Amino acid sequence: MKRFLVLAFVIASALAAAGARPQTEEPDAPRTIAITAKRFEFVPPEITVKRGETVRLLVTSQDVTHGFFQRALKIDSDLEPGKTAEVVITPPEAGTFTVICHNFCGSGHGSMKLKVLVE
Amino acid sequence: MDPVDRRRFLEIAGVSLGFGALYRAAPLLGVEPEAREVSRLLGKKNGEAPSAFSFVQLSDTHVGFSGPPNPLGTQAFEKAVEIINGLPDRPELVLVTGDLTHDSEDLSEHADRMRLFGKIAGRLRVPMVRFVPGEHDAGLDGGRLFRDAFGDTSYSFDHRGVHFIALDNVSKAKPILGKEQIGWLKADLARFPATAPIVVFTHRPLFDLRPDWEWFTTDGDEAINALAPYENVTVLYGHIHRENVHRDGRATHYAARSLAWAFPDPSDAGPKKPLPFDKDQPFKNLGLRVVGENGKRGSAPAVREVELTLREFSGTVGIQQLLKGGVLS
């Protein structure tokens, strides 16, 4: 009985120690890239990811409602001003993909693009 | 005339006038008894039997735009109006497929541009002019100014037995029709037989022409699917500032040139930048250069026969089926 109590104490201590350990990012958590949208550009204007890599894009509009669209990467999001949209992509193939703003935001709207280089 | 031609019910002659596209709907009715019967049946179904007429498509006048690709303001638009008014065979209808004006964040300025467009278009000596907005007309205010000036952004009407449908894929700011409009389109189409001549006019292409240039409509495939059962569909659009022909099933999609500036060929790998203004040929790429060539010997206009696909009535859903009481019974 005494041996059992000692064993239980050891296990409980180990669990408590594990619980108190500071949280670290899981090793397979997707990489995060922050992107800013504002008339009439995305910042940064270009990002590079690896084929098959899952990446979280955190896109924040700083001014008006923008769009975030790329057919092949299956991206179709609205970017409300002051809010951050999370877009998760896993590009299946290498290449260069152009994400556009597809929410008309003024005369420079057509030049608002983000280049995604997939290696 | 071979048997197929004789059976052709309606054909459209597209004239590459540059300021748009002139279409002549020339029904070859009365040639055969079955053609007359089809005309009678369609007239009964649609309220009006198809008969001959011509119409013009104008697009992307961008009134109010000022910049290097077009330093001439509204001159090309005004020239186009003159040309239309001078056509020997006066069109009965002009369709304007969007971007009548260039956008302005100053609502008062944008309203002035709408008025100026209306003033110039008002010189058209044609019985009917119909409009759809482009994103530069309606993208910033949800179409409010456009509706105040020109009415609804999506609607339909019949003219001489042809059913015209205006679709709005701009006023939600995004290239989208939306579920409500697609539902309306399906209901609107439901009363027509599969052989009815249908002309859809809209601003952006309904298909994926160059999505990275925003030359697409996100849910355009739903409209295309709704139109797919119909044999005689023509879709006219603007937005891309150049001619383009695309066939999708039984429908044919035609883009019109702009009256402001031209964009490059979508098959180019380069960026979507307006083609530079050429002071020696100020209307170059707007196409007005071909308008004067209206003779037959060496100066014939680039007339090409473009069927509105009211095809021969000998197909599987053709006259035989109609006369058997199939789709029209």
Put simply, the answer to whether B211 touches A103 (Cβ < 8 Å) is no
B217: pLDDT strictly greater than 50: yes
Residues of B in contact with A78 (CB under 8 A): 174
Residue of A nearest to B138 (CA): A104
Closest-CA residue to B197 (of B308, B90, B320): B308
Provide the ipTM: 0.76
Residue B40: pLDDT band (50, 70, 90) is: low
SS3 B316: coil
Put simply, the answer to whether B103 touches A106 (Cβ < 8 Å) is yes
pLDDT tens profile A32-57: 999 999 999 999 999 999 999 999 99
Give A87: exposed, middle or buried? Use CB within 10 Å, 0-12, 13-18, 19+. buried
Put simply, the answer to whether A102 touches B174 (Cβ < 8 Å) is yes
What is the reported pLDDT for B69? Answer: 92
Closest-CA residue to B311 (of B48, B10, B50, B13): B10
CB nearest to B211's CB, from A71, A105, A109: A71
Whether the link from the prior residue into A40 is cis, omega within 30° of 0, is yes
Residues in chain A whose beta carbon is closer than 8 A to a beta carbon of chain B?
65, 67, 69-71, 76, 78, 97-98, 100, 102-107, 109-110, 113
- Inter-residue contact B19 to B287 (CB < 8 Å): yes
What is the reported pLDDT for B269? Answer: 80
Q: How far apart are CA B266 and CA B255, in angstroms?
A: 12
What is the reported pLDDT for B49? Answer: 67
Model's pTM, two decimal places? 0.80
Q: How far apart are CA B307 and CA B23, in angstroms?
A: 10
B213: pLDDT strictly greater than 90: yes
Higher pLDDT, B9 or A62: A62
Put simply, the answer to whether A71 touches B208 (Cβ < 8 Å) is yes
Q: How far apart are CA B118 and CA B133, in angstroms?
A: 13
Residues of A in contact with B266 (CB under 8 A): none
